Amino acid sequence: MDKKPELPDLSPEKLARLWAIGSDIQPEAEQVIGLDDRKAELLRDRLARNLPLDKRTRGFLSETLDLLCRKFQPFVGNSLGAMIMDPQTSVEVLTYIKDFAKESGSTARDKAERDVALAVYFAAIASALVCHGARISQHSGSRLRKAFEAWVERSWLPSDMRELFKKAMTQAEL
């Protein structure tokens, strides 16, 4: 019982080849998981992140820094998802989230990341419309309504986000 198990004929090279066998399973595993499941996981991760306050943000705040800093202060440290769903989030912050999502979508590595960026983009637009009656997009009302209708059907979205899109559908063409 005190004897250690032996690994006959397992040279370092053979052991490295054994480890390498498992490394090529990733693409097949992604296919089994499914694109919608991957999108749902990416969206949960994206919505849980904080909105970055970087050089771009400082440039955005340059003219009215004091006023906007007071508006941003309650949301520092809050996740994107929390800010999108919070009716107290200012139109300025929602506009920034929309722009951030648009930029994220343009640099996305694949369809799942692009779809997640689009979901955040349209959720920020929907939140501004529902919570403030404000349009932060150049899309027409009918285009927004159609987009919101399409997002309601996406099963990988959280239910509160689908509800936001449902509310926004009724206000899109007003």
| pLDDT tens profile 97-113 | 999 999 999 999 999 99
pLDDT band at 78 (very low <50, low <70, confident <90, very high): confident
Q: In this predicted structure, what is the pLDDT of residue 4?
A: 53
Q: CA neighbours within 13 Å on the CB side: how many for 133?
A: 1
Whole-number pLDDT of residue 43: 92
Q: How many CA atoms lie within 13 A of 113 on its CB side?
A: 8
Joined tokens for residue 15: 């052991």
Tens digit of each residue's pLDDT (9 = 90 or more) over 122-146: 999 999 999 999 999 999 999 999 9
Query: Nearest CA to 46 among 93, 101, 85, 86?
Result: 101
- Amino acid 97: pLDDT: 93
pLDDT at res. 6:
56
CA distance 23 to 126: 41
Q: At which residue do the structure tokens 């990988």 appear?
A: 156
Closest CA relative to residue 84, chosen from 1, 5, 157, 2:
157
Euclidean distance between CA atoms 129 and 78, whole angstroms = 21
